[in-house]
Amino acid sequence: MTATQETQHSQAMTPLAAGFHDPVHDAQACFRAVMNAMARPGTRQSLDTAGLKPPAPLTPVAAALALTLFDYDTPVWLDKPLMTSEAVKAFLRFHTGAPIVSEPVEAAFALVANPGQMIPLASFNQGSAEYPDRSATVILLGQDFAAAQTATPAVTLTGPGIQDSTTFPVGPVPPVFWEQVTANSRQFPRGIDLIFAGTAGIAALPRSTRILPTEV
């Protein structure tokens, strides 16, 4: 048995992690947090994930989002750290029924456990002029919303849901990430939506949000 086969066998023998303790109410609370995050871009929304202990590198907050947003009709793309975990794939398949796809353009949702090395945003489904709602939502794991802790400079957000403008510190993200987000917002109503998953909360940037560099 190879090392890879031994790892997969060990993961297969691991008991499946539990989902929400109260599926209906927990999912409703998570969905409200997502809607509030989308309505108020760049604002942190708290998320109670008590009792959720998904297999690494899937985080409790990302697991809550998956349990709330994924279903049989939402193909999901996973980056390499998640795709190589049989336990993560088993967790998602069992609790959500979402099909896992190999091509990012085929996905309705994407989970990115290593955002610092993520693929370009243009790789995901951008939607079409006729069906802009068919674009992907990309969820970035391990995000830090504290300005002093992020590895990249904060950006300034403007657009719907924001009075005047607001500063958004978050990371880690790739060095060219905000340039990609700027290009993404220029496609509106096409373009992807972004959810940033921290340790105890989330923030979001819908495609309608415009990104401006913060002056230093």
- Retrieve residue 150's tokens: 């992020």
Query: Is residue 172 reached through a cis peptide bond, with omega within 30 degrees of 0 on the bond before it?
Result: yes
14 CB-near residues (< 8 Å, 6+ apart): 55, 87
Q: What number of residues does the chain have?
A: 216
CATH architecture of 3-8+19-213: 3-Layer(aba) Sandwich (3.40)
- Retrieve residue 144's tokens: 């830090």
- pLDDT tens digits, 79-132: 999 999 999 999 999 999 999 999 999 999 999 999 999 999 999 999 998 999
Q: Is the pLDDT of residue 5 over 80?
A: no
Phi, psi (deg, nearest 5) at residue 47: -140, 120
37 by Cβ neighbours in 10 Å (0-12 / 13-18 / 19+) ranks as buried
Predicted model pTM: 0.90
- pLDDT tens digits, 11-57: 445 678 878 878 899 999 999 999 999 999 999 999 999 889 999 99
Which has the higher per-residue pLDDT, 16 or 193?
193
Q: Where are the domains of the chain?
A: 3-8+19-213
- pLDDT tens digits, 144-185: 988 555 566 789 999 999 999 999 999 999 989 999 999 999
